[in-house]
C-alpha cells in the first residue's frame, strides 16, 4: 500500500534501495491496460483505487505467528484466495510465497483461473536436509510446479534448482512442464552513484544492512567484534536495519562493552543509507544455515556501490557476484573474521575485489532480467493479439 501511494504520484518508494516488486507490477498493468487487484496482508485494513488498479491491505492476525497458529493462518489465507478468485474471476492470479500452502492453489485450474507462483525464498534451507513435514507439503504441491501453474517466477537459480527437484521429472519425460522465468532485483542508476571506497583516512568500515534477526546472522557480529576488541584493530561494524532481535542485540552490545566497535544506526531511509554506504569499505551478509534465503538483495547493493561483499554461501546471490565476493560457509564466525582481516590487511586483494564489483555494476542495472519484464511476458502471453486489452489480474503479495 505504501508503494502504491508513492507510485500513484509518479514516485519510487523512498523506503527501499531497490525498485519494489509491487511497483514493477503496477507499471506492467498500467502499460498493458489490464485491471489489477493487488492484495497484501497487514495489521490494518486499507485500500486505494487509481484507474484500473486497486491496492488492498487486508488485516491478517497471523502475521509473525509461529507453529500451529502459522499453519492455521496459511490455511485460512488459502480459503481467502478462493474467495478472491470467486469474487473477481481473474484471468490469472500471481501468488507470492509465504501466503498459503502451495497445494491449496491446485483447484484454481478447475475454476479456469491460471496461477503463477512468485518465489522469493527457497523451499527449504540450502544447507540443511528437508524435514519430513516439508517433504509431505512439497509432494502435495508437486502437480502445481509440474504443469498446473501457467508459469513459475523465480528470483534465483537456487530456487529454480529446488523446483526441478520438486518436479522429480526424468529427462525423457514427455509431459509439458510449466515454464520457469527467473528475474533479478532491479535498481535505478542512482544505486551505483557512489565514489570508490577510500582507504587510510579512518577506520575500515564493514556494513551490515539487513533485518536484525538471528537467521540473518546478526549475532555473528558480536563474535567478530569480540575478536576485534581483543586485537585492537581499527575496524568498525555498522548495522543498518531493524527487526525482532533489535532490543536483545543492542543490550548484548552494551553488556559486552562493544559500543566502540559496533554502531547500530537502526532503520535507515535511502538518504541515510547512502551516507553509510559512502563511508563503508565492504558489505557483510552472514545469513545462517537456518534461513530459506531466496536471493538477498544486499549482496547486489554492495556490488552496485563498488564494495566487496563478504557473504554466506547460504545466499543464492553469490552465484551472480563472481570475483567481487568472498564466500564463507554459514555459521562460520572465524571465516567471516578472517575474510574481514584479509580485506583490511591485503591492499592488493581489496583493490581487485573493488575492481570486480565495479565491473559488475552495469549487469544489474539492465531491464532484461527485471521482475517487470517477467510479469509482462506472462501477462502478454495470455493475449498475444495486438491492441487487445488484457483481462483482470490478481496479485497476492506478502
Residue span of the structural domain in which 301 resides: 190-365
Q: Are 145 and 106 in contact (CB under 8 A)?
A: no
Q: How confident is the model at residue 63 (pLDDT cuts 50, 70, 90)?
A: confident
Same structural domain for residues 356 and 225?
A: yes
Only one residue has cell 567478530, namely 224
Same domain for 264 and 179? no
What was the pLDDT predicted at 387? Answer: 43
> Residue 214 is part of a domain; what is its CATH number?
3.40.50.2000
**Global model pTM greater than 0.85:** yes
* Averaged pLDDT of the chain: 91
Distances from the Cα of 136 to the Cα of 46, 69, 81, angstroms: 36, 19, 22
User: Residue 389 pLDDT > 50, yes or no?
Assistant: no
- Name the nearest CA neighbour of 39 among 10, 4, 75: 4
Does one domain contain both 150 and 216? no
The answer to whether residues 352 and 335 touch, using CB atoms and an 8 Å cutoff, is no
281 and 333 inside one domain:
yes
DSSP string of 76-138, one letter each residue: HHHHHHHHHHHHH--SEEEEETTSS-GGGGGGGGGGT-EEEEEE-S-SS-TTSPPPHHHHHHH
Instruction: Please indicate, yes or no, whether residues 219 and 300 belong to a single structural domain of this protein.
Output: yes
Give the residue carrying C-alpha cell 558480536.
Answer: 222
CA 269 to chain centre: 18
Residues 182 and 196 in one domain: no
Angle CA 394–85–106, to nearest 5: 100
Question: Do 292 and 122 contact (CB within 8 A), yes or no?
Answer: yes
Whether residue 151 contacts residue 181, with contact meaning beta carbons closer than 8 Å, is answered with yes
Q: Looking at the structure, tell me whether residues 156 and 146 fall in a common domain.
A: yes
Higher pLDDT, 183 or 364: 183
Out of 239-253, 350-364, 366-380, the most confident range is: 239-253
SS3 of 247, please?
Answer: helix
If one counts the domains in the chain, the total is 2
Q: State the pLDDT confidence band at 175, using cuts at 50, 70 and 90.
A: low
Secondary structure string (H, E, C) spanning 99-115: CCCHHHHHHHHHHCCEE
In this prediction, residues 258-279 reach a mean pLDDT of 93
CA–CA separation, 207 and 237 (whole Å): 6
Query: 359 versus 346: which is more confidently predicted?
Result: 346
Q: Are 248 and 339 within one domain?
A: yes
For residue range 299-357, what is the model confidence (pLDDT) as tens digits? Answer: 999 999 999 999 999 999 999 888 999 999 999 999 999 999 999 999 999 999 999 99
Q: Are residues 376 and 343 part of one domain?
A: no
Residues 181 and 196 in one domain: no
Contact 226, 252 (CB under 8 A): no
pLDDT of residue 386: 46
Amino acid at each position: 500500500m505504501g508503494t502504491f501511494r508513492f507510485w500513484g504520484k509518479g514516485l519510487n518508494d523512498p523506503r527501499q534501495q531497490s525498485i519494489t516488486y509491487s511497483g514493477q507490477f503496477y507499471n506492467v498493468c498500467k502499460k498493458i491496460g489490464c485491471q489489477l487487484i493487488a492484495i497484501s496482508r497487514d495489521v490494518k485494513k486499507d485500500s486505494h483505487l487509481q484507474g484500473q488498479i486497486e491496492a488492498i491491505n487486508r488485516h491478517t492476525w497471523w502475521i509473525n505467528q509461529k507453529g500451529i497458529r502459522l499453519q492455521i493462518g496459511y490455511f485460512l489465507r488459502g480459503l481467502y484466495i478462493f474467495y478472491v478468485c470467486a469474487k473477481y474471476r481473474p484471468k490469472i492470479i500471481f501468488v507470492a510465497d509465504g501466503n498459503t500452502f502451495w497445494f491449496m492453489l491446485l483447484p484454481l485450474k478447475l475454476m479456469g483461473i491460471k496461477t503463477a507462483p512468485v518465489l522469493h525464498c527457497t523451499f527449504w534451507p540450502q544447507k540443511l536436509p528437508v524435514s519430513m513435514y516439508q517433504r509431505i507439503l512439497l509432494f502435495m504441491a508437486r502437480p502445481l510446479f509440474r504443469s498446473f501453474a501457467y508459469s513459475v517466477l523465480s528470483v534465483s537459480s537456487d530456487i529454480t534448482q529446488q523446483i526441478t527437484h520438486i518436479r522429480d521429472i526424468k529427462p525423457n519425460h514427455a509431459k509439458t512442464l510449466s515454464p520457469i522465468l527467473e528475474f533479478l532485483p532491479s535498481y535505478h542508476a542512482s544505486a551505483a552513484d557512489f565514489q570508490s571506497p577510500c582507504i587510510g583516512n579512518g577506520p575500515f568500515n564493514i556494513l551490515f544492512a539487513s533485518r536484525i534477526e538471528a537467521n540473518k546472522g546478526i549475532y555473528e557480529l558480536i563474535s567478530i567484534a569480540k575478536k576485534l576488541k581483543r586485537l585492537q584493530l581499527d575496524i568498525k561494524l555498522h548495522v543498518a536495519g531493524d527487526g525482532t532481535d533489535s532490543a536483545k542485540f543492542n543490550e548484548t552490545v552494551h553488556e559486552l562493552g562493544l559500543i566502540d566497535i559496533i554502531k547500530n544506526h537502526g532503520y535507515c531511509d535511502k538518504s541515510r543509507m547512502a551516507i553509510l554506504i559512502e563511508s563503508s569499505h565492504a558489505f557483510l551478509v552472514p545469513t545462517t544455515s537456518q534461513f530459506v534465503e531466496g536471493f538477498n538483495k544486499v549482496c547486489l547493493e554492495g556490488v552496485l556501490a563498488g564494495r566487496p561483499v563478504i557473504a554466506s554461501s547460504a545466499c543464492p546471490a553469490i552465484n551472480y557476484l563472481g570475483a567481487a565476493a568472498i564466500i564463507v560457509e554459514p555459521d562460520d564466525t572465524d571465516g567471516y573474521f578472517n575474510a574481514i582481516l584479509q580485506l583490511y590487511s591485503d591492499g592488493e586483494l581489496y583493490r581487485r575485489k573493488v575492481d570486480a564489483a565495479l565491473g559488475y555494476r552495469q549487469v544489474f542495472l539492465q531491464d532484461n532480467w527485471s521482475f517487470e519484464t517477467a510479469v509482462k511476458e506472462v501477462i502478454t502471453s495470455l493475449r498475444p493479439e495486438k491492441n487487445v486489452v488484457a483481462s483482470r489480474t490478481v496479485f497476492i503479495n506478502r
